[in-house]
Structure 1
Amino acid sequence: MTRHTPAATFTSAPIAAHPFEENNPLAFIMIDIDVEHSYQQHSHDFYEMIYISEGSGLLLIDKQCIQVREGELFFIPPGIAHMLQKPNDSTEPLQMMNCLLQREVLCPQVETDALIWDEEFQRIADFFRQAESWLGYREQNGELARILYGMHINAMNKPPGHRHKQYILLLDLLHTLYVQHQVQFPYTRMRIENPVEFTLGYIRMHYRQPVKLEELAQWLAMSSRHLQRLLKQATGFTFIQLLQNCRVLQSCELLLETDWNVQRIAEEVGVHDMKYFYRIFKERCHVTPSRFRVQHRQNVDQD
Structure 2
Amino acid sequence: MKKNVQLTKGELFFNSGLSIFINRVSERFDLREHAHDFVEICYVWEGSGFHYIDDKVLRVTKGDLFLIPIGISHVFRPSSSAADNQLIVGNCIFEQSILHAIVETMPNTIGSYRYAHIGLEQTQGWIKFREHTNEFGSLFDRMLQEYRQAKQGFQTMLFAMLLELLLVLERRLDNSSLYSSDETSVRDDRLDVILHYIRTQLHEPITLRDVSRHIKLGERQLQRLIRTSTGFTFTGLLHKERMERSCSLLKETTYTAAQIAQLVGIHDMKHFHRLFKKLTGMTPIGFRKAAASANLKRSYSS
Q: Go from structure 1 to structure 2 and tell me whether the alpha carbon gap of 1:220 and 1:153 turns closer, same or farther (over 3 Å shift).
A: same
What is the match of residue 273 of structure 1?
none
Structure 2 counterpart of 1:100, from 93, 100, 103: 93
C-alpha distance in structure 1 between counterparts of 2:27 and 2:101, whole Å:
34
1:27 aligns with 2:1: no
1:13/1:41 contact within 8 Å kept:
no
Q: How does 1:1-303 map to 2 (within 5 A)?
A: 12-13=6-7, 18-37=12-31, 40-88=32-80, 90=82, 91-108=84-101, 115-119=107-111, 122-123=114-115, 127=119, 129-180=121-172, 181-183=177-179, 184-185=185-186, 186-188=188-190, 189=193, 218-219=213-214, 221=216
CA RMSD between the two structures: 3.3
Q: Go from structure 1 to structure 2 and tell me whether the alpha carbon gap of 1:88 and 1:114 turns closer, same or farther (over 3 Å shift).
A: closer
Q: Tell me, what secondary structure is at the counterpart of 1:123?
A: coil
Shift of 1:57: 0.8
- Answer with 1 or 2: which has the greater Rg: 2
C-alpha distance in structure 1 between counterparts of 2:117 and 2:127, whole Å:
14
Q: Go from structure 1 to structure 2 and tell me whether the alpha carbon gap of 1:45 and 1:89 turns closer, same or farther (over 3 Å shift).
A: closer
Q: Match for 2:129: what amino acid?
A: Y
1:106/1:125 contact within 8 Å kept:
no
C-alpha distance in structure 2 between counterparts of 1:110 and 1:34, whole Å:
36
Shift of 1:109: 7.5
Structure 1 residues 199-230: Cα deviation after superposition (integer angstroms, max 9, x where no partner)? xxxxxxxxxxxxxxxxxx9456599xxxxxxx
Q: Tell me, what secondary structure is at the counterpart of 2:23?
A: strand
Q: Tell me, what secondary structure is at the counterpart of 1:176?
A: helix
Shift of 1:17: 6.6
1:124/1:174 contact within 8 Å kept:
no
Q: RCO greater where, 1 or 2, for CA within 8 Å and sep 6 or more?
A: 1
C-alpha distance in structure 1 between counterparts of 2:27 and 2:144, whole Å:
17
Q: Where do 5+ consecutive residues of structure 1 fail to align?
A: 1-10, 195-216, 224-303
Shift of 1:117: 2.2
2:7/2:37 contact within 8 Å kept:
no
Q: How many residues are aligned here? A: 191
Shift of 1:45: 1.5
Shift of 1:15: 7.1
Q: Match for 1:81: what amino acid?
A: S
Shift of 1:41: 0.3
Q: Match for 1:73: what amino acid?
A: L
Q: Go from structure 1 to structure 2 and tell me whether the alpha carbon gap of 1:119 and 1:150 turns closer, same or farther (over 3 Å shift).
A: same
Q: Go from structure 1 to structure 2 and tell me whether the alpha carbon gap of 1:109 and 1:171 turns closer, same or farther (over 3 Å shift).
A: closer
Percent identity (aligned): 21
1:124/1:175 contact within 8 Å kept:
no
TM-score (norm 1): 0.55
Q: Tell me, what secondary structure is at the counterpart of 1:108?
A: helix
Q: Where do 5+ consecutive residues of structure 2 fail to align?
A: 180-184, 202-211, 219-302
Q: Match for 2:57: what amino acid?
A: C
Q: Match for 1:104: what amino acid?
A: S
Shift of 1:99: 0.5
Q: Return 82-91 or 130-139, whichever deviates more.
A: 82-91
Q: Tell me, what secondary structure is at the counterpart of 2:15?
A: coil
C-alpha distance in structure 2 between counterparts of 1:108 and 1:58, whole Å:
33
TM-score (norm 2): 0.55
C-alpha distance in structure 2 between counterparts of 1:222 and 1:176, whole Å:
33
C-alpha distance in structure 2 between counterparts of 1:61 and 1:139, whole Å:
20
